[in-house]
Amino acid sequence: MNHGRARRPPTIPEPSPSEPKGHTLSSFQELPRWPQLTDDDIEAAVAALCSNRLVGQGNSTVQEFEAALAAGQGVEHAVAVSTGTAAVHLALHVLDVGPGDEVIVPAHTFIGSASPVVYLGARPVFADVTPDTHCLDPGSVKSLITDRTKAIVVVHINGIAADMAALTAVAAEAGVPVVEDAAQALGTEIGGRPIGGFGDLACVSLFEQKVITSGGEGGAVLTDNPDYAARLRRLRSHGEGPIEGRPGMIWAHEVGYNYRLTSVQAAIGLAQHKRLGEMVEARRRNAARLSERLAGVEGLELPVEPEGTTHAFWKYAVRVAPGGGRRPAGEIAADLRSRGVPVLLRYPFPLHKQPAFAGHEGISLPVAERLSQELLALPSHPGLTEGHLDHIAHEVRRAVAVTV
Ligand SMILES: Cc1ncc(COP(=O)(O)O)c(C=O)c1O
């Protein structure tokens, strides 16, 4: 039995005469998907395969990729690993995170930012995010620091730069190291400087959906600290390394992992990395077009770009404000998906509300909780044309204007 208020059928508005021309609702059977590998990527992969040097600590293709990543992000060392989650795991491992420790992580992020805390036997402490950037809120972090806080994981969500000045100040005051989770943020800058060197370590994901990929999976840890870099290299390969005074011999200095990136992955990553600048520019151009087309839509909050920063627009996240007779963001997303526009609620379950982190569900993180019901991620990848973007914007305008 329906005890709720009777719902009127939705009213579907006609496209307004000011809508951009050049498309119809049926113009696009399916929008282009991401990633889009090029001939260069494929040739690089084949060349790496033909080299017969597929893995190994001294692999020259992996080293070349690491050098390109480090130079691109303005850090001394990049250590390539098998996934972004492995990167977070190793970054926390070299900070000696372990049982009894707490690590502060935003509740509004992908689970890979937090699960490595649990791998290490430590406790994630979920913090709230700011309503405008959706990145870690320095005030929330400050309130959660205890004697047991061993690290803070700062996520540049969707490619928006977190407030590193405020966050590193809070961390420094408490003497706690900072790990930048830059999984979504290759191309993001603060004051003209690429992210990756603002904390003690930074983590990159090269998963297929990310800004660049190393052929499906991949990641890297960035740091200026040579001791961390040496330990990271050892840990990604079973903890093995040279024995002092025993040339040519290696043994396991500590228990590590098999988190190596292969040369084929590194070759694809390297080929993609050469196009990083142009790909980020394309994302920014696409975001600007979406913003132009979505400006003034009632109830829709468009993404911000904090002053002095560069947003990489891995995702174009818009907030649907409740009220005004609008449908909830989840219904709008479902409507858009049913019409071929791949839009997701972002993230529909804050980490502290998920079964994997049972025991945390009682805490209150109002912004992360609110965003989980209101934030939509629209595509902005370089494979989209102006026509596609206009189509997406048109569909969003239509879907948001439907009232109940
Ligand atoms: C913020 C964030 N952290 C960590 C990860 C983990 O990366 P990966 O999927 O490469 O393991 C992801 C990626 O999906 C992510 O978006």
Domain ranges of the chain: 39-273, 276-401
Q: How far is CA 259 from CA 56, 217, 234, 263, 313, in A?
A: 11, 11, 10, 13, 28
pLDDT at 30 over 90: no
173 vs 53 pLDDT, higher one: 173
Average pLDDT on 38-49 reads 97
How far apart are the two ends of the chain, measured CA to CA in Å?
Answer: 20
Average pLDDT on 371-380 reads 97
Angle at 264 between CA 258 and CA 268, to 5 degrees: 115
| pLDDT band per the 50, 70, 90 thresholds, residue 57 | confident
* C-alpha 240 – ligand 1 centre gap (Å): 26
How high does pLDDT run on average in the chain? 93
| pLDDT band per the 50, 70, 90 thresholds, residue 24 | very low
* C-alpha 334 – ligand 1 centre gap (Å): 24
pLDDT at 26 over 70: no
* C-alpha 245 – ligand 1 centre gap (Å): 40
Residue 133 structure tokens:
């950037």
Q: What is the dihedral of CA 188, 190, 193, 199, to 10 degrees?
A: -90
- Residue range 276-401 forms a domain whose CATH class is alpha beta
| pLDDT band per the 50, 70, 90 thresholds, residue 11 | very low
pLDDT at 27 over 90: no
Residue with CA at minimum distance from ligand 1 atom 8: 84
The separation between CA 35 and the C-alpha centre of its own chain, rounded to angstroms, equals: 15
pLDDT at 366 over 60: yes
**pLDDT, tens digit (0-9, with 9 covering 90-100), for 294-339:** 999 999 999 999 999 999 999 999 999 999 999 999 999 999 999 9
* C-alpha 392 – ligand 1 centre gap (Å): 26
Q: Are 310 and 335 in contact (CB under 8 A)?
A: no
Q: List all residues 6 or more positions away from 42 whose beta carbon is below 8 Å from its beta carbon.
A: none
What pLDDT shows up at residue 321? Answer: 96
| pLDDT band per the 50, 70, 90 thresholds, residue 14 | very low
What pLDDT shows up at residue 52? Answer: 84
**pLDDT, tens digit (0-9, with 9 covering 90-100), for 259-304:** 999 999 999 999 999 999 999 999 999 999 999 999 999 999 999 9
Residue 335 structure tokens:
């409507």
What pLDDT shows up at residue 29? Answer: 64
What pLDDT shows up at residue 56? Answer: 77
Average pLDDT on 341-350 reads 95
| Beta carbons within 10 angstroms of residue 8's beta carbon | 9
* C-alpha 159 – ligand 1 centre gap (Å): 12
Helices 263-273 and 60-73 cross at an angle (nearest 10°) of 30
Probe target for ligand 1 pocket from 111, 160, 184, 314, with the most ligand atoms within 8 Å of CB: 184
Q: Are 317 and 347 in contact (CB under 8 A)?
A: no
Q: List all residues 6 or more positions away from 319 whose beta carbon is below 8 Å from its beta carbon.
A: 300, 301, 329, 371, 374, 375, 376
What pLDDT shows up at residue 28? Answer: 56
CA gap 201, 180 in Å, rounded: 6
| Ligand 1 pocket residues where CB is under 6 Å | 83-85, 88, 109-110, 112-113, 155, 181, 183-184, 205, 207, 219
What pLDDT shows up at residue 247? Answer: 96
* C-alpha 116 – ligand 1 centre gap (Å): 11
**pLDDT, tens digit (0-9, with 9 covering 90-100), for 90-139:** 999 999 999 999 999 999 999 999 999 999 999 999 999 999 999 999 99
Nearest to 214 by CA among 154, 167, 270, 176: 270
Probe target for ligand 1 pocket from 88, 90, 110, 113, with the most ligand atoms within 8 Å of CB: 110
Average pLDDT on 186-215 reads 98
pLDDT at 206 over 80: yes
* C-alpha 183 – ligand 1 centre gap (Å): 5
Probe target for ligand 1 pocket from 205, 212, 257, 344, with the most ligand atoms within 8 Å of CB: 205
Single-letter residue type at 122? A
Average pLDDT on 219-241 reads 98
Percent of the chain with pLDDT over 90: 90
What pLDDT shows up at residue 148? Answer: 98
Q: Does the domain formed by 39-273 have CATH 3.40.640.10?
A: yes
